Amino acid sequence: MSLTYNPRSIPQIFTDLVNRLTDLLRKEAELARTEASEKISQAATALGLIVIGAVLLIPALVVLLEAGVATLDKAGFAPYWSAQGRAADSAKNHRAIAARCIRSQATDEERR
């Protein structure tokens, strides 16, 4: 193996090394920023699609549940087996509670 003579001095080689290393780090940082920007963009798109899917899915589930309740009622099941029966009972209870609260407020005002 023969040795070749390099006319560059040690400081020149060191300067070239530092310049190339700085350039490499700058390019890597730019690449990392670009990749991060792409990933953030992809994540935002995915989140938007998830929200749109949820907005479309929730009403579909409500319609499906209403169909199930209608099927149970039509099949002759007792009202407590269907959500409609529970919802009606719950609404009656809420109305009764509201009526009691209104009456108690009215009697409190009459006492004053």
Whether residues 44 and 91 fall in one domain: no
Whether residues 29 and 46 fall in one domain: yes
Whether residues 63 and 18 fall in one domain: yes
CA distance 20 to 55: 53
Residue 43: predicted pLDDT: 96
Task: Supply angle C-alpha 69, 67, 85, rounded to 5.
Answer: 15
Whether residues 23 and 47 fall in one domain: yes
Give average pLDDT by consecutive 10-residue segment, the chain, 112 residues.
Answer: 76 93 97 96 96 92 83 78 56 68 68 62
Domain around 87: 78-112
Does this model's pTM top 0.75? My answer is no
CA distance 54 to 49: 9
CA distance 74 to 96: 28
CA distance 28 to 86: 63
Alpha helices in 3-111 (DSSP H): 10-74, 83-111
Residues 6+ apart with CB under 8 A from 82: 69, 72, 73
Residue 28: predicted pLDDT: 97
Residue 92: predicted pLDDT: 61
